[in-house]
Structure 1
Amino acid sequence: MDKQSLAKTTKDILNKYNIKLNKNLGQNYLIDRNKRDQIIDFGNITKEDIVLEIGPGIGTLTCELASKAKKVIAIEQDPTIFDILKERLENENITNVELINDDALNVDFPEFNKIISNLPYQISSPITFKFLEYDFDTAILMYQKEFANRMKGKVGTKDYSRLSAMLYFKCEVELLTNVSAESFIPKPKVDSTVIKLSPKIPEFKGELSNLAISEINEDDFRLYSKFTKALFQHKNKKARNALIDSRHEVSSLDKKEFKNKLNSITSTKINDLLSERVLKISPENILFLSKQLDPILN
């Protein structure tokens, strides 16, 4: 019955405004009240919290979040949906939601401390990388199941990716619950997973523990980010070839100069890593490589 009531509310609003949802834009609306409430409960929201929501749609999460939080910042790109949500908030006398009609990838986020969102799936990757640029206490986010698995990808597995390497130093990633495709309208082709991101200070092992690094500062992470992007564009290649093919990400040298610089390296440790397939290089060793190679290549 609960599921039906949220489904009916959603359908009534869509019918009232003659809205046809576009699956290609990631407009899949949650209609399972139990899952909606579970997602919000995972956030442990108090009246001290300012919650960021990306892609609020018609307010399925927004209205409930607003009842628990100090404030909700909701960023909706679709101007028609934005107007519907604005009217709904006014009708329900909800006054602690700051609505922003813009592309979440292009706007600077106002101050917040928690993120709770059923994300538009087509921006899952870039919006997650953008979250990593901000300080927050916790994030409860819904992704396609396959994407969520890649967030926890282990070194050497098919799920190991730029995404998992980037998250490795920044956040603990916890898979909380799966959400069936039946829980949405229109029904997507795949199931979803709710994850929790908790920022962390990384512990360093192996080679890096000898470099007297206690944590990655912003410059280190920017450097690491550049090399990670370059390497994972060719994750099945050896690191040396991956870097040569994506050299524009990490250096302004032309191909010949770049190769000459790499070939001039005498360190056994660095050469061993450059001969390894990207898929098998740990985040610690990618950071090690980035810190060692950047002065050589620039």
Structure 2
Amino acid sequence: MKIEENKSSLAKETKKILQKNKIHLNNNLGQNYLIDEFKRNQIISFANLKNDDNILEIGPGIGTLTIELAKKVNKVTAIEQDTNIFKILKKRLKNENINNVELINEDALKVKFPDFNKIVSNLPYQISSPITFKLLDYSFDLGILMYQKEFGERMVAKSGNRNYSRLSAMLYFKSLIEILDNVSPESFIPKPKVESVILKLTPKKNINSKISDEEFKNYEIVCKTLFQHKNKKCKNALIDSRQILGYKDKKLLKSKLNEIDVNELFLKRAVNMSPEEILLLSKKLETVIKK
């Protein structure tokens, strides 16, 4: 009963703010606002906030997370692209007398992020992949992030799993990822058509990286090449996606691949190759890839 009351309370507050400002949320643009106070508190608890933390939030909306985060940390930097929503949040912060939030009215994919040590966000789902890889180019302690459930399951999938993909393989060397909890469509307005998950993301730069930046560039190229044809045998997948490797001539690439002693890997399919095996292959292909 308490959870339902909390959800109802936050829902009423959110609807009141939106109606007052004549804002109509667009489901197609990923404008789904959290109205479940229990889930909001859970997200904040997962972040293990300290009073000296500097938080980055992407897509803060009307401040459902922002205001509560600001009460517990040194600073919050919130990046909101929608100008109308940005103005509402700015006004709310002023009314709440909150002065440790820096608001940026920009596209998060285009703006340079300021210094932060944690990111806490209900991410716009349509930019999930590019914003995640952009984040991992920065140094920070951890992220507590909301994703579409299907996307989250692809992020953590292991080789051989039906959800294993280029995304899974790419993130393997970039971060530790843990699904912390599920979130139902009823926790948002408007209700999305999909379920969501809360993830904890810890950059591997802060732990133990098995791969250098230069090696990762080759690894990225090979992942892209293989997963375009993830159910084909590795060698055939490389040949069929040869343009990514810098080749037009099928016979030329085939002859170069024949010179490399990785026949065991060439017979495997990308969907069954572990990230370590793909990394080994990318190192063997270093002289073959045209940059």
**Cα offsets for 1:123-163 (capped at 9, x unmatched):** 11111122221111111011111111111101111111111
- TM-score, normalized by length of structure 1? 0.90
Indicate conservation of the 8 Å contact 1:29/1:57, yes or no.
Answer: yes
Indicate conservation of the 8 Å contact 1:173/1:195, yes or no.
Answer: yes
Distance 1:106 1:202, change over 3 A: closer
Residue equivalent to 2:213: 218
- TM-score, normalized by length of structure 2? 0.93
- Say yes or no: does 1:2 pair with 2:6: yes
- Say yes or no: does 1:195 pair with 2:192: no
Residue equivalent to 1:96: 100
1:252 deviation in Å?
Answer: 5.3
Residue equivalent to 1:63: 67
CA–CA separation in structure 1 for the residues paired with 2:206 and 2:55? 25
Residue equivalent to 1:12: 16
Q: Where does the alignment leave 5 or more consecutive residues of structure 1 unmatched? A: 205-213
Q: Where does the alignment leave 5 or more consecutive residues of structure 2 unmatched? A: none
Indicate conservation of the 8 Å contact 2:32/2:191, yes or no.
Answer: yes
1:128 to 110, 132, 153: 132
CA RMSD across the alignment: 1.9
**Cα offsets for 1:221-270 (capped at 9, x unmatched):** 222122212222221222222222333333356444223311333x1xx1
Letter in 1 for 2:275: P
Indicate conservation of the 8 Å contact 2:82/2:105, yes or no.
Answer: yes
CA–CA separation in structure 2 for the residues paired with 1:245 and 1:133? 30
Residue equivalent to 2:289: 297
- Say yes or no: does 1:38 pair with 2:33: no
Aligned length: 286
1:278 to 258, 261, 270: 270
- Bigger mean CA offset, 99-108 vs 284-293: 99-108
Indicate conservation of the 8 Å contact 2:149/2:196, yes or no.
Answer: yes
Indicate conservation of the 8 Å contact 2:141/2:206, yes or no.
Answer: no
Letter in 2 for 1:62: T
**Cα offsets for 1:41-70 (capped at 9, x unmatched):** 100111211111111111111111111111
**Cα offsets for 1:88-134 (capped at 9, x unmatched):** 11221211111111111122211111111101111111111222211
Indicate conservation of the 8 Å contact 1:119/1:143, yes or no.
Answer: yes
Indicate conservation of the 8 Å contact 1:74/1:99, yes or no.
Answer: yes
CA–CA separation in structure 1 for the residues paired with 2:207 and 2:44? 30
CA–CA separation in structure 2 for the residues paired with 1:247 and 1:52? 39
Letter in 2 for 1:144: Q
